[in-house]
Structure 1
Amino acid sequence: MLLLVAGIITLSRLPLLVLSADEGRDALLYQVDIFLPPKEGKNETADILDIQETVKDLSDIDVLFSFKELGNPRIILVLDVEKACSWPQLTGFLSSKGYEFNVTSLYYDSDFAQELGVNMTKDMLASSFGNRDLLMGKVTFPVKGLSTLEYNDMIKWTVERQVDIINNGQQLACFRTLAEYPVKWTFFLPVTQHRIDEYQEYFHGPRDYQLVVTRIENLDSYTGVCQGV
């Protein structure tokens, strides 16, 4: 895992735009992180493939993305849950297997961009990545020492840079955590060393974000076979 922490900024007075309770927004998108505890005699590969097949068959739950963290027994799902009553299909299955899991409400970064006055549409964001080397980034905009206007401008500047990256041909899927403060994003994209270096430079410097980057693979590509580097 590549861990990049570039200082801490906190904000004494959060802006109204950022503090909106997202009223009227259907919180249908969720990130589900599933952790398979190591147990003697357990077949990790079989468990992961069982999860993969189970989530594909869930009713009224659309799997937008499914990943596995490289080197760790952690599954990362991004789901569009069409009906709240569909949840027990997944939570019941995970609980019956004894898996630990966390659920985070999300919404598309393109929706957030529109609130900021930035022209980003959903069709600009990637909907699949295929069998490629990938990374997941988690960005936090900590809160201290900025005015309302400065905080909004910092976030808007970052969204505008995302649009530039997409327009330059980079596949990117990005979500904001719903009603979470300080503002947090999760993004997925193909990875190269050039791209890692670019993001290190991008998130360092005067913007002072907190960034944690994790290498992942598409769950559809997972075989459980150790691959040489």
Structure 2
Amino acid sequence: MFVVLFGLLALSCLPLSVLGVLEDRDAHMYRVNIYLPPKEGRDENADILEIKTKLAGLTDIKVLLSFKELGNSMVILVLRVDKACNWPQLTSFLARKGYEVKVTPVYYCSDVARELGLNMTRDFYDTVLEDDEDLVLGTQIFHVKDLTTAEYDEVLRQMFVRDMGILKAGQRAACFRTLAGLPVEVIHFAPVGQKKMEAIAEILHAPGNFDFEILRIQQLDRYTGGCE
């Protein structure tokens, strides 16, 4: 379970010329899923509160976003690792605790949108979602199938065009793309309410070949170990 994380540690210590093309420039941002599997004697509340304490004490690793999946023992993080070789201060802790960990490099959706020809500044999406209690994580996976490169790029471009309209109408969201090949995976973290669910419905019914998954999440700072 932990091989991915240590592999990324080694990869992150390589110079950019080794890592690859310019699109890899934000390879020091990561989505980290930490799953606490059931175990005799395990106190889930105490473990999650200990994770919160550990995150607060990290140096050269900035926690951009931190959530807990509602109804599941999963902590979801987006980290910026300014000095990648400082990973062990977190990885050694997670390994010692015996958690299941998945690490995925990500970069900003706004960078993707600009590469597709849209006029979108990096601050168009939120980088923090501090004040909202009701949140979702939405994951879109865009399948290639029989599309040409130009057609596939246009599907992604239209998704960002819809995003721009939704955000200009008052919706807020943080957005990242998985740093990988195909199919493209895009993740949104967004506050929801009765009216804002209409924006999600618009995404669900949008044209295009993609899978869409929604998880209910809460700010990790709001997790106090009580009943959900």
Question: In structure 2, what is the Cα distance between the partners aligned to 1:54 and 1:101?
Answer: 15
Shift of 1:118: 0.8
- Residues 225 and 21 of structure 1, relative CA distance in 2, 3 Å threshold: same
SS state of the match for residue 206, structure 1?
coil
Contact 1:22 1:179 (8 Å CA) reproduced: no
Tell me what 1:221 maps to.
222
Structure possessing the higher relative contact order (Cα contacts under 8 Å, 6 or more residues apart): 1
Tell me what 1:45 maps to.
45
Aligned residues: 208
Q: Could you give the per-residue CA deviations for residues 46-97 of structure 1, whole angstroms, max 9, x where no partner exists?
A: 1001001101111100000000000001000100000111111111110000
Question: Is residue 146 from structure 1 mapped to residue 144 from structure 2 by the alignment?
Answer: no
- Residues 65 and 153 of structure 1, relative CA distance in 2, 3 Å threshold: same
- Residues 197 and 33 of structure 1, relative CA distance in 2, 3 Å threshold: same
Tell me what 2:16 maps to.
none
Tell me what 2:134 maps to.
133
Q: Could you give the per-residue CA deviations for residues 159-205 of structure 1, whole angstroms, max 9, x where no partner exists?
A: 11111111111111000001231111111000124433432342335
Tell me what 2:69 maps to.
69
Q: Amino acid of the residue matched to residue 174 of structure 2? A: A
- Residues 206 and 161 of structure 1, relative CA distance in 2, 3 Å threshold: closer
SS state of the match for residue 207, structure 2?
helix
Tell me what 1:107 maps to.
107
Gaps of 5+ in 2: 1-19
Tell me what 2:82 maps to.
82
Tell me what 1:171 maps to.
172
Contact 1:132 1:217 (8 Å CA) reproduced: yes
Tell me what 1:124 maps to.
124
Q: Amino acid of the residue matched to residue 74 of structure 2? A: R
Task: Name the TM-score, length of structure 2 as normaliser.
Answer: 0.86
Question: In structure 2, what is the Cα distance between the partners aligned to 1:111 and 1:173?
Answer: 13
Question: In structure 1, what is the Cα distance between the partners aligned to 2:85 and 2:203?
Answer: 41
Contact 2:110 2:122 (8 Å CA) reproduced: yes
Question: Is residue 59 from structure 1 mapped to residue 52 from structure 2 by the alignment?
Answer: no
Q: Amino acid of the residue matched to residue 176 of structure 1? A: R
Question: In structure 2, what is the Cα distance between the partners aligned to 1:72 and 1:173?
Answer: 22
- Residues 163 and 206 of structure 1, relative CA distance in 2, 3 Å threshold: closer
> Identity of counterpart residues, as a percentage?
49
Once superposed, which parts of structure 1, at least 4 consecutive aligned residues long, lie more than 6 Å away?
Answer: none
- Residues 193 and 21 of structure 1, relative CA distance in 2, 3 Å threshold: farther
CA RMSD of superposed structures (Å): 1.6
Contact 1:137 1:188 (8 Å CA) reproduced: yes
Question: In structure 2, what is the Cα distance between the partners aligned to 1:22 and 1:142?
Answer: 24
